[in-house]
C-alpha cells in the first residue's frame, strides 16, 4: 500500500473521488438438463428494462462474501445448499455511466430450484438458458463469460458438480451436470467408472432409486458427495484444441 499512508494522513472522505463497490452474482443452476443463469430485469435507468446479473452495493460493515450471499438470497430465497465463491473484479472507469463503480463478481451454484422471486428492487427475475441470453446491461455479458469459463474449469478438478444435485444422486444425474455445464455429451460407461475411481469424489449410500428411469433401465445406486476438495486425477474435458493457442 505504498502511498496510502501519506494519502490518508491528509485525507478527507468528503474530498475523495467517490467510488462505490458492488457485488454481482452469477448464479447457475440446471433446469431440464440445460445450464441456466439467474437474471433480473432492471426497473430504473440506466439500462431500464434490460436484463442484468443480480447484485448491489455492499453495506457498511458487510463483508464482500456476505453481500453476495445476501443479494442472491433476495432474488431466490435460497440460502442453504448454495456454493458461492468469488470471481474477478471489474473497475473500468466507464463501466457504469453514473459514477465510478468497482464490481466484485461471484459465482454461485445451486441444485434444481423453484422460480426466482423478483427482489424488492428488480422488475422481474428469471432463469435463462445460457445459450439463449438476452442482451445484458453494463459489462455483464463479459462477467458472465468469465464466470462460465471458471465454472467449466472448476468441474474438472473440484467436486463442484455435486453442488448442482440433491443430497443423494445417481451417477447419471452427476453426468447430466457435466454435460449441461460443458455442453458436450459424455460416454456413460467411462464416466461412471471414472467418477467411482476418484478417491473421495462420491461415496455410496447403499440405497438405490425407487424405480428405473422414465424410459426404462435398471434402478441406479445412490451416492452422496465425498470428502474430497480436489479431484485427483481430474476429470478433463474432451479435447479443446481451439483454446490452447
Q: Residue 107 half-sphere exposure, CB side, CA atoms within 13 Å?
A: 21
Cα radius of gyration (the chain):
21
Residues 105-134 that bind a copy of itself (CB under 8 A): 119-122
> What kind and span of H or E run contains 84?
strand 83-90
Q: Mark 178-207 with x for binding to DNA (rule: CB under 7 A) and - for no binding.
A: ---------xxxx-xxx-xx----------
The site partner of 133 among DNA, a copy of itself, none (C-beta below 5 to 8 Å per kind) is: none
Under rule CB under 8 A, how many of the chain's residues touch a copy of itself? 69
C-alpha cell at 40: 433480473
- Backbone dihedral region of 183: left (phi > 0), alpha (psi from -120 to 50 degrees) or beta? left
Residues 190-209 that bind a copy of itself (CB under 8 A): 199-200
Classify strands 19-31 and 100-109 as parallel, antiparallel or unpaired. parallel
Q: Residue 202 half-sphere exposure, CB side, CA atoms within 13 Å?
A: 29
Which is closer to DNA, CB of 47 or CB of 157?
Answer: 157
When binding is defined by CB under 8 A, the residue of 27, 29, 42, 165 that contacts a copy of itself is 42
CB within 8 Å of 205: residues ≥ 6 apart: 168, 221, 222, 223, 224
Regarding 79 and contact with a copy of itself (CB under 8 A), the answer is no
Regarding 13 and contact with a copy of itself (CB under 8 A), the answer is yes
C-alpha cell at 103: 464490481
Positions that interact with DNA (CB under 7 A):
170-172, 187-190, 192-194, 196-197, 208, 211-221, 233-236, 238
Positions that interact with a copy of itself (CB under 8 A):
1-9, 13-14, 16-22, 24, 40, 42-45, 48, 52-58, 60-64, 71, 74-75, 86, 88-93, 98-100, 102, 104, 119-122, 137-138, 199-200, 227-230, 232, 240, 243-245
Amino acid at each position: 500500500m505504498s502511498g496510502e499512508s501519506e494519502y490518508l494522513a491528509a485525507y478527507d472522505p468528503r474530498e475523495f473521488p467517490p467510488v462505490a463497490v458492488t457485488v454481482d452474482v452469477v448464479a447457475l443452476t440446471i433446469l431440464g438438463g440445460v445450464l441456466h443463469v439467474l437474471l433480473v430485469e432492471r426497473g430504473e435507468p440506466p439500462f431500464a428494462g434490460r436484463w442484468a446479473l443480480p447484485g448491489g452495493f455492499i453495506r457498511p460493515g458487510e463483508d464482500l462474501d456476505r453481500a453476495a450471499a445476501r443479494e442472491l438470497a433476495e432474488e431466490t430465497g435460497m440460502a442453504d445448499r448454495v456454493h458461492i465463491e468469488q470471481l474477478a473484479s471489474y473497475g473500468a472507469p466507464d463501466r457504469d455511466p453514473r459514477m465510478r463503480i468497482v464490481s466484485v463478481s461471484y459465482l454461485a451454484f445451486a441444485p434444481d430450484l423453484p422460480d426466482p422471486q423478483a427482489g424488492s428492487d428488480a422488475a422481474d427475475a428469471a432463469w435463462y438458458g445460457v445459450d439463449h441470453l438476452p442482451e445484458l446491461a453494463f459489462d455483464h455479458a463479459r462477467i458472465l463469460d468469465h464466470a462460465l469459463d471458471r465454472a467449466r474449469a472448476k468441474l474438472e478438478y473440484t467436486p463442484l458438480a455435486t453442488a448442482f444435485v440433491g443430497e443423494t444422486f445417481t451417477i447419471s444425474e452427476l453426468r447430466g451436470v457435466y454435460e449441461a455445464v460443458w455442453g458436450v455429451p459424455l460416454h456413460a460407461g467411462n464416466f461412471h467408472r471414472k467418477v467411482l475411481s476418484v478417491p473421495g469424489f462420491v461415496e455410496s449410500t447403499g440405497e438405490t432409486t425407487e424405480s428405473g428411469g422414465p424410459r426404462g433401465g435398471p434402478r441406479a445406486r445412490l451416492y452422496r458427495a465425498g470428502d474430497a476438495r480436489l479431484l485427483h486425477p481430474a476429470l478433463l474435458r474432451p479435447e479443446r484444441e481451439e483454446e490452447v493457442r
